[in-house]
Structure 1
Amino acid sequence: MTVIYYGYPKCGTCRKAKKWLENEGISFEEYNIAEQPPNEETLRTMIANSGLEMKKFFNTSGMKYRELQLKDRLPSMSDDEKIALLASDGMLIKRPIVTDGDHVTVGFNEDTFTETWSK
């Protein structure tokens, strides 16, 4: 199984997730989310397949999120506007994101990774 991993090299949580995937012998295609964020179509698919609300895809603790005052702005934005915003700047996206096309995990939780990616 090969999964797609969107992470940020300087992010400690991303490094933990990457190490977990490597230790489990799961091959992955790696993308730097800051340089190559997922496009709008990819994001739509990931959000739909994740079973999570779109809000979970936002990096709410990031500087960019605070700078743009998204906590106040998101509730009045349409889903299309939110997806366009996420696709425009990878630093707005909660990371890491790991997907195999059907399954999607956002952030790193070892139990969730074990449940989702250990086959």
Structure 2
Amino acid sequence: MITVFGIKNCDTIKKARKWFESQNIDYQFHDYRADGLDQDWLKSLLAEHGWEIILNKKGTTYRQLPEDKKANIDNESALALLMEHPAMIKRPIVQSESDIAIGFKESEYASKFA
């Protein structure tokens, strides 16, 4: 089973979901706000990929953080920030039993999930 993680009203999530639907690929959608966020899952993502990949610095939520929260981020402080502000998680995160993709790239999706 493929799971698309993100926030329902995000434009990038909409693109990813539309891609899966256009390819007739079944997927499950997990909305961080509605369905919650599993800390152990997030912790394993940070350990495997690093906070620099998982934390979205381009979004409004991150940019509005006080400078002291942005300074000296590591996996531990990123975990706390992301648990408090799931909107700062890069979107989408797509996970299958054997693979993961962070962000939306059609060519990557085609090679990993089609």
TM-score range, shorter chain: 0.7 to 0.9
Per the alignment, residue 45 of structure 1 pairs with: 44
Q: Give 1:67 shift.
A: 0.9
Q: Is the 8 A contact 1:38 1:87 kept in 2?
A: yes
Q: Is the 8 A contact 1:5 1:31 kept in 2?
A: yes
Per the alignment, residue 81 of structure 2 pairs with: 85
What is the total number of aligned residue pairs between the two structures?
Answer: 114
Q: Is the 8 A contact 1:65 1:92 kept in 2?
A: yes
Amino acid at match of 1:90: P
1:1-119 pair list within 5 angstroms: 2-49=1-48, 52-69=49-66, 73-74=69-70, 76-118=72-114
Q: Is the 8 A contact 1:14 1:96 kept in 2?
A: yes
Partners of 2:81 and 2:98 lie apart in 1 by 23
How high is the TM-score relative to the length of structure 2? 0.82
Q: Give 1:78 shift.
A: 3.3
In 2 relative to 1, CA 76–35 (structure 1 residues): closer, same or farther, beyond 3 Å?
same
Q: Percent identity between the aligned chains?
A: 25
The SS at the match of 2:35 is coil
CA RMSD of aligned residues (A): 2.2
How high is the TM-score relative to the length of structure 1? 0.79
Select between 20-29 and 106-115 the one with higher mean Cα deviation. 20-29
Partners of 2:11 and 2:51 lie apart in 1 by 23
Q: Give 1:62 shift.
A: 1.2
Structure 1 unaligned spans of 5+: none
Amino acid at match of 2:56: N
Q: Is the 8 A contact 1:37 1:89 kept in 2?
A: no
Q: Give 1:74 shift.
A: 4.4
Structure 2 unaligned spans of 5+: none
In 2 relative to 1, CA 84–101 (structure 1 residues): closer, same or farther, beyond 3 Å?
farther
The SS at the match of 1:105 is strand
